[in-house]
Amino acid sequence: MGIRIRTVVVLLALLVLHGLKLPPASGVLSAATPHGKPGAGIGSLSVLPSLGGNSEAVAVNAAGTTIVGSSYDHHGLQHAVKWTLKQGAWTLTDLPWPPGVASVTARGVNNHGDVAGNTNTIPSVNSRAILWPITGNVSVLGCSTDVGPTSVYGISANGQTVVGNASGGAALWQPGKCLVSLPTLIPSQYSSAGAVNGDGTIIGGSVSTDPTAGVPVRWTLVAGLWQVEQLDALTGTVWSGAANAAGDLAGYVYVSCALADGCQRAAIWYAAGGSQVLGTLGGDTSSATGINATGEVVGISTPTRASQSETGFFWSESTGMVPLAFTGKWAAAWALSDVRPDGTRLVVGTDARVRAVVWVIANP
């Protein structure tokens, strides 16, 4: 189906696996470093500190004060990390590991500063959802009977509802409770929950309709029961972490185009009803990876020039889709904050050198 934006994530994972052999570092590190002269696009771009190897920033809280993701150390081990804004500088904290795991991944952060992620184990059937409370330490979510490959993709902004996938099915976790499996449109379908709204009552994701494709769905908590709703007739998905407090969801769908299998396009599904398919930066494909309270969206798109790979974009009703500043061949945007008191918002992601980066965008 043309260029699949999700392949960027796979490529990043492969690059990160090999790690940059840089000087070691640990604990809390110094402020972000300026990224150099930016390319054409909006936002001032900085590189976040790492543990010595490749890194990726994948989520930011609504206030724009805490970022989470992963960083490899100089031994090639993957760590879950968070960056915290203190006195105008970003400091890096290496999050603790539960005992007996190969590595850990952080995927979401809420407004309280709690961080959600999952263990990476060998074999993967033993991986579990985990929570790092702002009070410290780490706790394994779910019950001892909740076994199977597990991936976490988001956490509710105002609470501790964690969403993801467990043993091929969409699932949610809450502290002190066993996992809850979310319903599918047809029994035995593969499904995955990727994004959750502020109070944990709306979840977005996808459900497979055949072995190679799926459709975007929304789960809504009604009278204590989860109900599933297909959002679009088109093939697509709600992106991991791409939900705002109200429950607007973002991701992508495939539309008809000159390519035989269709073209991927960024899409928004509104909690109040209706949807919107966005354009591209001039190329064939785009995908929305984050949405904030004012409906602004970030993501990745192919540009007009064939010499460039997918790059990050910012979209709003007033600006349309505009590229984010970058150097090198590309940069990927994964999430954005709400508008902060000073009129700026943060966008987080990764650049072509597989470094965690952050953009500060003034009112566009």
Q: Contact at 8 Å (CB) between 203 and 156? A: no
Tell me if 172 is assigned to some domain. yes
Residue 2 lies in a domain: no
The length of the chain is 364
Q: Looking at the predicted structure, is the pLDDT value of residue 189 above 60?
A: yes
**CB neighbours (10 Å) of residue 10?**
10
Mean pLDDT of 220-238: 96
In a domain, 1, yes or no: no
Instruction: Identify the pLDDT of residue 350.
Output: 96
Q: What percent of the chain has pLDDT over 70?
A: 86
Mean pLDDT of 63-71: 97
Classify residue 202: in a domain, yes or no: yes
Which tens digits make up the pLDDT trace of 346-359? 999 999 999 999 99
Q: What is the distance between the alpha carbons of residues 321 and 140, in angstroms, rounded to a whole number?
A: 40
Identify whether 225 is part of a domain: yes
Bond prior to 38 in cis (omega within 30° of 0): no
Give the number of other Cβ atoms within 10 Å of residue 85's Cβ.
17
| Joined tokens for residue 28 | 């809390």
pLDDT score of 100: 82
What is the model's pLDDT at position 24? 27
Q: How far is CA 108 from each of CA 130, 144, 226, 283, 361, rounded to the nearest angstrom?
A: 11, 23, 22, 30, 21
Whether residue 354 is contained in a domain is answered as: yes
pLDDT at position 211, please? Answer: 63
CB contact set of 273 (below 8 Å; sequence gap of 6+): none
Which pLDDT does position 306 carry in this prediction? 57
Percent of the chain with pLDDT over 90: 71
Residue 124 has what pLDDT?
64
Q: What is the CATH number of the domain that holds 181?
A: 2.130.10.10
For 265-284, the pLDDT digits (tens) are: 999 999 999 999 999 999 99
Residue 243 counted as domain residue: yes
Domain assignment present for residue 315? The answer is yes
Range of the domain at 81: 7-361
Dihedral of CA atoms 358, 300, 277, 159 in degrees, nearest 10, equals: -40
Give the pLDDT confidence score for residue 209 in this predicted structure. Answer: 75
For residue 220, name the pLDDT band (cuts at 50, 70, 90).
very high
User: Residue 37 — very low, low, confident or very high, per pLDDT cuts 50/70/90?
Assistant: very low
Say which range, 3-7, 227-231, 275-279, 348-352, has the weakest mean pLDDT: 3-7
pLDDT tens digits, one per residue of 106-143? 999 999 999 999 998 766 678 899 999 999 889 999 99
Determine whether 216 is exposed, middle or buried from the number of CB atoms within 10 Å of its CB (0-12, 13-18, 19+). buried
DSSP, residue by residue, 120-170? E-SSGGG--EEEE-TTSS-EE-S-TT--S-EEEEEE-TTS--EEEEETTEE
Q: Round to whole Å and give the CA distance between 177 and 220.
A: 19
The residues, ordered by sequence, that sit 6+ positions from 250 with a Cβ below 8 Å of its Cβ are 195, 238, 239, 242, 243, 266, 267, 268, 269, 288, 289, 290, 291, 297, 299
Per residue in 290-333, pLDDT (tens digit) is 999 999 999 999 987 655 578 999 999 999 999 999 888 889 99
When divided into structural domains, the chain yields a total of: 1
Provide the CA 146 distance to its chain's centre, in angstroms.
Answer: 24
Two tokens, residue 296: 């602004």
